[in-house]
Structure 1
Amino acid sequence: MARIITVLRALSLVFLSVEASVHLTINSENGNATSGMLFGLMYEDINFSGDGGLYAELIRNRALQGPNPDLTAWHSEGASVTLNVDKSEPLSDALPNVLRVDVSSAASGKVGFSNEGYWGIPVNTDQYKASFYVKGDYTGDVELSLRSAIDGTVFSTKTVSVRANGQWKKYTTRFTPGKASPNANNTFTIMFDAEKVRGKSLYFNLISLFPKTWSNSGTNGLRVDLAEAIDEIGGKFLRFPGGNNLEGQSPPYWWKWNETLGDLIDRPAYPGPWGYVNTLGLGLIEYMRWTDLMGLEPLLAVYAGLYLDGTFITEEDLAPYVQSALDELEFLTGSVDTHWGSYRASLGYPEPWVIRHVEIGNEDNLWGGLPSYQNYRFNMFNDAIKAKYPDMTIIASTPEITGTPAGTWLDFHLYDKPDHLTTLFGQFDNWDRQHPVLVGELAVIAPNEPNKPEVEWTPGALRLAYPSMIGAVAESIFFMGCERNADLVQGIAYAPGFQNLNSYQWVPDLISFTADPADTTLSISYYLQKLFAQNVGDNTVAVETSEDFRPLFWSATYSQKHREYYVKMANYNGTSTDISVHIPALRNGKATWTTLSAPDGHSYNSPRNVTSKWTETEIPKSGDSWTVTLDNLMIGVLKIQK
């Protein structure tokens, strides 16, 4: 993900009305094979989409991590206690900052502290798992509770017996609330007997609260509603750890994979480049579990020696970073007889994963990184990885690089306006077939003209607040152009994937959310991804017609496995048109017409206000064809089963 982009100038496109009907004939002979993973996912921890989002942890600032620790989200409970960040009693080398709770000598009753979560904590009647470390002189009960921040209603209380004797000790418990909260404006509270610790201090750290996670992925698992939404797209790959979060803002910070492993007590903070600290709870193993559970092909990106401030690692100093990439691959794919494979097994994963694709860096054409990437950085990584893993597919992070070996994929990123994006329908028609393409990031991010729902992102720079209908139609046209070139384009992903509406750095996004699942918003572009990902064959097929592209666009594929044809269509600023589809090889077949539409081009989905419409209709055969109607700014897929 590029933090600063230049949106291409919108072209003024005027389309003539088409005739009342268009005839498409689908060739029965298969064309180019698709990659099998044409539509997929890109994930980057941006917009509080990991901590505070997809990563299910509910406690914010759980271990006071980062170079400038503070008491964000923590509040004292009781007038006789104060909270402080303490560095004198480290829990571990990775977690040196702890929460010190000072109790006055006049304290009485129950006192303690609370956490407000990531702008709230939802409470339902599923089981929660809570844990914390405590140190100090205290023997007695510690009361954990979930309660409303509005009126103090207690939804659940659990008592833990603690014997603190001056050494750090971990306590873990589970509880199930008897009732759900009406909203997410709740806190997690820890209280204890003040009289047993008058005039003293108790130390706490790594205070954690996990709800039920998606697919029973357990502690460090994924938030249910967000993971379900991603899984339901039906994508075939996951590109991670994604975008700028791989690179880091400046030395010495980059996404160090080995620091994301093992127990949470051993994972230091990562000051991510998007203005907030990553706990690294969502680490390399968690990503791999994500791909396993969703059946996604992992597209692993490795750090390639470029920081976002323009600092790059010199050729003389690059070798340790290359070795780190090799170590990461050994950790993931090595047998238990290897050093890193043995370590993986010690963490509970004796069976190696399969990694077929590795991307070297991220957007290395930016931040002044292209000369060093072209001259030595790409080659040093590529040569080392290929020497050990000759069958590995290598992806260069920019199509601007030249001279890469045949078979190297090139990662193409584009953020655009609707009108201009439609002109790129034929973008890949004449590309060099020696270098397959990954469209690793793509989205319409700005309106053609100043109209709602744009926001002024920076002075004079308009951005869409949410993906719009006209933007989704333009995206679909670009996607169809990619699909027509499926021998070249191996994968496509929308970016970014998630937006926490309480704090974000980029708009628009595929899925928006707050702590309250009722606010989770699936954008129109989300439904486009789902529509296309679930209706793609393993071979392209030619479409014959007397019509030219524009304002109507189309592509077609055939699935040998399912014996189905998929004809994708979009209408960009044209008249409502009947389209007849004829497949000479089929005498009959069951046809389903699925459309995505909205009231107008500026329509968008926002929290609790979905304007887009998804319809599915069975279409009978009329004569030798199936006929559908494609309205203006509508996307449709005609699926025909043999």
Structure 2
Amino acid sequence: MTHTIAAPLDVTVGGPTGTTIPTDLWGLFLEDLNDALDGGLNAELVRNGDFEFNPADRDGWHALTAWTSSDPARVAVRREDPVHRNNGTYLRLTGPVTLVNDGFDPVAVVPGARYAFSAFTWAVEGSGCIVLALEGDDGVLATVDVPVEPGGWNPVAAELTGQVAGAGRLSLTVPAGLTVEIDVVSLRPVGPDGAPLTFRPDLLETLRALHPAFIRFPGGCLAHGLGLDNMYHWKGTVGPRHEREQTFNTWGYHQSRQIGYLEYFQLCRELDATPMPIVAAGVCCQNLRGRARAIPQDEMPAYVQDVLDLIEFANGGTDTFWGARRAELGSPDPFEMRYLGVGNEDEITDDFRERYAQIADAVAAAYPDVTVIGTAGPAPFGADFEAGWEFARAQKVAIVDEHAYRTPRWFHQNIDRYADYPRDGALVYLGEWAARTNTVRSALAEAAFMTAIERDSDVVALASYAPLLARVGHTQWVPDLIYFDAERVLPSASYFVQQAFAAEPGGEVCAVSLTGAEPVPVPGWAGGAVRVSAGGSEVELTRIGLDGAAVQPARVVPDSEAHLGRLGGRGVLEFTATRSSGDDGLVVCLGDAGGDTVELSLGGWQNKSTTLALTADGIGNEIDGPHQGHRLLTGVPIVLRLEVGDHRFRVWLDGELVHDVTLDLRPEHRVVAGASRRPEADGDEYVVRLVNATDTARAASVTLPVDGAVTGSATLLAGAGPEQGSPEADSPVRPEQVAVSGSGGFSLCLPAWSFASVVARVDA
């Protein structure tokens, strides 16, 4: 990072523009990926306490995953007479035997701390107690005897109190002469009120500090599932734990549904956030072999009723069926749900359109005060994005869910993205978005874009970063806002950006002009090396040509690259590719190390599509596709032709034009400012956002449209270079408070690669 003398930056704040920032603008998106719930926000300490893990969750998993025993011959997996049909697997333990749960991590036992144990047991032979203990490497940290009874399944409960500090694992010992069946094993810390904790306290407080206005749940891809049988149905996630419907998780593990819809609504109440459930639009996820499948039309009335019942469960009085059920479960007061998302990143097909309309029309008729949110595909461009918006306009959808996982460059280039959106159409919910990495560069690009969102919040009504939570060592997606392990919470730099914006909600948007901040030019395509790789496959490349010159045939093997030569700013690459072994596709990379590169992925996601991607500042982003219909198959040659000219990339596969895209050369807005005013009886408050995503420090002079003294405080995020910050690590920067003051404005030094959120008060 290069340090220079601070350059002057003049920020002039004008009068209100007529836009008022919605108080609902900044929220959270909670999806069960990266072990965000079980092993995360869920305070449960026992892993696989229902013995329902199985190979459908993950290869090699089974009923005893996370459990070990002193004598496997004395442990039997049974399914003949379960506690409940939704919890069909249990264990029979024939003493003497000890069963130990590995947990998600060892339990941090503290002397005097209390832990609530519960289970269902059935003494099928003999009588007596099982010995429950938290055992460390050097001995017992806590223990209690738990009586078991014959005559059927009986709920049992006990409390362990920490006697010795240490890291322990839960053990269950059945003595000789006693045979016990057991299921639904649970161990939770006891809270200050004496009740078992539902949520892990440090993660709960980390979410509380984000001041969320709403919480989206349960997905994401989890909502519509991989196949109709995997679709998330809310009724199977409320009620007693042992009656809940468990299933495999879209992200490659098990869903216990211990945090289901009731706990979700309770979390919203705990954090003073409005619920925003997302339900499937009558179709499952299209990222499935055979594409999306639709609920048969003769089953749609029942599905639509389920959606209406969800709203009644959330908002209905206790004189309604589902409102009464909510009260039975301990929540008599309604949850005041105001938003309902229908669909997620869906392929816009006739099946989708028909079923979305059925659901939305029924909700509008029964609950006109609930705002239905539509969907517009997985990216902020492309066929489904365009078709989603066209359908939304035809349906007069109130709010449309856009998603944007993009590079920092993209966000800096798209500061004005929403300035040209029509002001008389649907509003935008930026439901899933992030700047790809956990670096300071990404966090500041997000801050710049959020500043623009506030400016254009007459169009963007809602926004939520995604994903929210990720357990260290268990991540399926990067970046994430908050990482954690058993003992630590590790917020990212992006977390503190989100926190700063949400801490100061609302206000009248003010006009802002900048002097001393020039956009940063984006380099055009100048050519570079041509490299080909194929993941775990072997591929023969023949009939290779670069700008008409023949190149010797090449063979690509796993974990290697074939270097074919160089391609200039204008040129043609041709070859025939034939896979001889493996299951992966082919990647053609154009460009030199350290610069921008363009990648063609042939046979990308599930080897059934092609994409073009641009890597800038070492961070990649799809710029065209995915396009279906071309894949790399063993023994089947495919002919590729790629033409480059005037920053335009065209790709033909077997003679068909698949990609035709021109690079976006708009400059990046790296220095950005925004402001809003909050009138009060005894004066005004101005909230000023300042982003400096450059190597040059800025001496910012901020002029407010007022006379007289100005006092306030800036939350400043600074002190690290753009590439600092990484997944599963603590943020390289922490916010600090800096006092500001002046007459008619204030001055503030913005270090290189910094963000400031300033609250300045002007007395009447």
**1:88 aligned partner, one-letter code:** E
What corresponds to 1:93 in structure 2? 85
- Hey, what does 2:434 align to over in structure 1? 443
Residue 66 of structure 2 corresponds to: 73
Q: CA deviation at 1:620?
A: 2.8
- Do the aligned partners of residues 610 and 430 (structure 1) sit closer, same or farther apart at CA in structure 2, a change above 3 Å counting? closer
Q: Which residue number in structure 1 is paired with residue 331 of structure 2? A: 349
Say if 1:244 and 1:607 are closer, same or farther in 2 by CA, change over 3 A.
closer
The alpha-carbon deviation at position 216 of structure 1 amounts to 5.9
Question: What is the deviation of 1:171?
Answer: 1.0
Counterpart of 1:171 (choices 156, 177, 185) is: 156
Q: CA deviation at 1:84?
A: 2.8
Supply the distance in 2 between the matched residues of 1:476 and 1:32 (Cα, whole angstroms).
19
Structure 1 residue 140 and structure 2 residue 131: aligned?
A: no
Aligned to 1:119: 105
Deviation per residue, 1:234-262 (Å, 9 max, x gap): 22111111211111111312111001111
Residue 22 of structure 1, CA deviation: 1.7
The yes-or-no answer on 1:229 pairing with 2:229 is no
1:636 corresponds in structure 2 to 756
CA distance, structure 2, for counterparts of residue 537 and residue 328 of structure 1: 30
CA contact (8 A) 2:431 2:465 kept: yes
Alignment of 1:396-545 (within 5 A): 396-398=374-376, 400-402=388-390, 403-406=393-396, 408-433=398-423, 434-445=425-436, 464=437, 467-514=438-485, 516-518=486-488, 520-545=489-514
Change (3 A) 1:585 1:25: same
| Contact 2:710–2:746 (8 Å) recurs in 1 | no
Change (3 A) 1:178 1:31: farther
* Residue number among 283, 307, 318 corresponding to 1:306 in the alignment: 283
Establish whether residue 587 from structure 1 lines up as the match of residue 587 from structure 2.
Answer: no
- What CA deviation, in whole Å up to 9, does each residue of 1:114-168 have, x standing for no partner? 10111333323432110111112232222211122xx243211122233x21411
The 2-side partners of 1:526 and 1:138 are apart by 55
Distance (Å, rounded) in 1 between the aligned partners of 2:684 and 2:274:
24
Please list the CA deviations of residues 29-66 of structure 1 after superposition, one character each: whole Å capped at 9, or x if unmatched. 46311111211110100011111110111111111125
Contact 1:65 1:268 in 2 (8 A): no
CA displacement 1:581-607 (0-9 Å, x = unmatched): 111324113221221124211111666
**Using a 3 Å threshold, how does the CA distance of structure 1 residues 225 and 130 change in structure 2: closer, same or farther?**
same
What amino acid sits opposite 2:490 in the alignment? Answer: T
SS at match of 2:349: helix
1:554 counterpart = 2:547: no
User: What is the identity, as a one-letter code, of the residue corresponding to 2:282?
Assistant: G
- TM norm structure 2: 0.73
Q: String of CA shifts for 1:296-353, please: whole Å, max 9, x gaps.
A: 1211212222222222224454322212101111121122222222222222222222
The answer to whether residue 346 in structure 2 is matched with residue 358 in structure 1 is no
Question: Could you tell me how far 1:276 is from its partner in structure 2?
Answer: 1.3
* AA matched with 1:521: L
Q: CA deviation at 1:355?
A: 1.6
Letter in 2 for 1:422: H
Q: State the shift of 1:81 in Å.
A: 5.3
**Contact 2:22 2:505 survives alignment (8 Å):** no
Could you tell me whether the CA contact under 8 Å between 1:594 and 1:637 is conserved in 2? yes
Deviation at 1:419, TM superposition (A): 1.3
Q: Distance in 2 between matches of 1:578 and 1:421?
A: 24
- Partner deviation per Cα, 1:462-511 (whole Å, 9 max, x = no partner): xx4xx110010111111111111011111111111111123221122111
| Residue in 2 that maps onto 1:3 | none
Letter of the structure 1 residue corresponding to residue 738 of structure 2: T
Deviations 1:530-570 (A, max 9, x none): 11111333221111344556331011112336942111011
In structure 2, give the amino acid aligned to 1:65.
E
Does the alignment pair 1:193 with 2:175?
A: yes
Aligned residues: 582
What does residue range 241-390 of structure 1 map to in structure 2 within 5 Å? 241-308=218-285, 309=288, 310-364=292-346, 369-372=347-350, 375-390=353-368
CA distance in structure 1 between the aligned counterparts of 2:341 and 2:729, rounded to whole angstroms: 38
User: Which amino acid letter does the alignment assign opposite residue 27 of structure 2?
Assistant: G
**How far is the alpha carbon of 1:229 from its aligned partner?**
0.6
Which residues in structure 2 correspond to 1:35-74 (within 5 Å)? Answer: 35-65=22-52, 68=55, 69-74=62-67
SS of 2:322's equivalent in the other structure is helix
- Equivalent AA in structure 2 for residue 501 of structure 1: V
C-alpha contact (below 8 Å) 1:374/1:401 kept by paired residues:
no
Task: Name the stretch that deviates more: 167-176 or 562-571.
Answer: 562-571
Judge conservation of contact 2:77–2:89 (CA < 8 Å) in 1: yes
- 401-410 or 232-241, which deviates more: 401-410
Question: Which protein has the larger Cα radius of gyration, Structure 1 or Structure 2?
Answer: 2
Note if contact 2:512-2:674 (Cα within 8 Å) is conserved in structure 1. yes
Aligned residue runs from structure 1 range 601-616, under 5 A = 601-604=722-725, 610-616=731-737
**% of aligned pairs identical?**
27
Residue identity matched to 2:92:
R
Give the conservation status (yes or no) of the 8 Å contact 2:345–2:375: yes
Q: What letter matches 2:510 in structure 1?
A: V
The aligned residue for residue 456 of structure 1 is none
Relative to structure 1, is the Cα distance of residues 360 and 144 closer, same or farther in structure 2, using a 3 angstrom cutoff?
same
* Alignment-mate amino acid for residue 70 of structure 1: A
Conserved 8 A contact 1:394-1:409: yes
The one of the two structures with greater contact order (alpha-carbon pairs below 8 A, sep at least 6) is 1
Counterpart AA for 1:524: A
1:358-387 per-residue CA deviation (whole Å, 9 max, x = no partner) reads 1102111xxxx3113663122111111001
Is the contact between residue 234 and residue 533 of structure 1 (CA under 8 Å) also seen in structure 2? Answer: yes
Q: Which of 201-210 and 582-591 deviates more?
A: 582-591
Q: Distance in 2 between matches of 1:325 and 1:36?
A: 27
Counterpart of 1:529, as a letter, is Q
CA distance 1:411–1:494, change in 2 (3 Å): same
Per-residue deviation, 1:405: 4.3
Partners of 1:395 and 1:560 in 2: CA distance: 31
SS class of match (1:410): strand
Unaligned runs of 5+ in 2: 56-61, 377-384, 520-668
Instruction: Label 1:596 to 1:41 Cα distance change in 2 as closer, same or farther (>3 A).
Output: same
| Whole-Å separation in 2 of the counterparts to 1:147 and 1:302 | 43
The answer to which structure has the higher strand fraction is 2
Question: Unaligned stretches of 5+ in structure 1?
Answer: 1-14, 446-463
Q: Which amino acid aligns with 1:73?
A: A
- 1:612 is displaced (CA, Å) by 1.2
AA at the equivalent of 2:675: A
**1: CA distance between counterparts of 2:293 and 2:472?**
32
Q: Deviations over 1:58-113 (max 9, x none)?
A: 11111112565421111113x4853232112311122111012234xxx5xxx321
Distance in 1 between the 2:51 and 2:404 partners? 37
Q: 1:160 aligns with which of 146, 152, 158?
A: 146
For residue 517 of structure 1, what is the amino acid of its counterpart? E
2:349 partner letter: P
Equivalence for 1:9: none
